[in-house]
Amino acid sequence: MVNQILDKLSKVPLWQKIAVLVGLGAVIPIFFYFMSWQPIAIQVTALQSQYQELDRKYKEQKAVADDLLTFQQNTKKLEEDLRLALTQLPREKEIPSLLRDIYTLGKKSGVVFKTFQPQGEVNKSLYAEVPIKLSLTGSYHEVAVFFDRIGKLSRIVNISELVMASSKGESDSDVVLTVDCVALTFMFLGARI
């Protein structure tokens, strides 16, 4: 049987034998490429991109770890800043303590209160306005000192809608101011910490 195959092959012209060998020489590497090399190349490419992503994450985490002390100090400073900001813009109305503070400041300044009238709060996106109508009397100096002391409170309080009228006091040289205004304070409505 082998002899018959060899006899048939010996009768094939030389150029056909060369063409078959060249064809096999081309088919074998192509077969090897598609069956072995290409899947490995795809896997290597995927692993390289995975490696690059992991390396990037590692470098980010290492930078955070290397800078942990600074990060902790910055966090502590931000927490202190938040505590300070919340004293100026508290989360609750605290109207009774605010009224007590305003009344005490007024008495120390020499003004006489006619009206303390808390109004309904007005909600904004991150905060609420809490207005308080005030009516008071006193000399120009007493009213100015009172407003100055209001401005120095740790909590933010704005005086607006100011209407002043003057009248004669007990003596002709005394001038008494009657002041109607709105003391506007604010309340933080953001997320709880």
Band of the pLDDT at 181, cuts 50, 70, 90?
A: very high
| Cα dihedral 120, 122, 126, 127 sign | negative
Listing DSSP states for 105-152 in one string gives HHHHHT-EEEEEEE---EE-SSEEEEEEEEEEEE-HHHHHHHHHHHHT
Above 50 in pLDDT, residue 192? no
* pTM exceeding the 0.85 threshold for the entire prediction: no
Q: What is the pLDDT of residue 29?
A: 79
Q: Which CATH number fits domain 95-188: 3.40.50.150, 3.30.70.60, 3.40.50.1110, 3.10.270.10?
A: 3.30.70.60
Give me the residue spans of the domains in the chain: 2-63, 95-188
Q: In this structure, what token pair is assigned to residue 144?
A: 């100015």
- In the predicted model, what is the mean pLDDT of the chain? 82
The DSSP secondary-structure symbol of 69 reads H
CA distance 103 to 109: 10
pLDDT (average), residues 124-152: 88
Residue pointed to by tokens 């305003």 = 102
Residue 83: band (very low, low, confident or very high) from pLDDT cuts 50, 70, 90: confident
CA distance 150 to 101: 9
Task: Express as a percent the part of the chain with pLDDT over 90.
Answer: 19
Sign of CA dihedral 81, 83, 88, 93: positive
CA distances to 34, 50, 89 from 124, rounded to whole Å, are: 66, 47, 13
Q: Give the tens place of pLDDT for each residue, 95-122.
A: 677 778 888 988 899 999 898 788 888 8
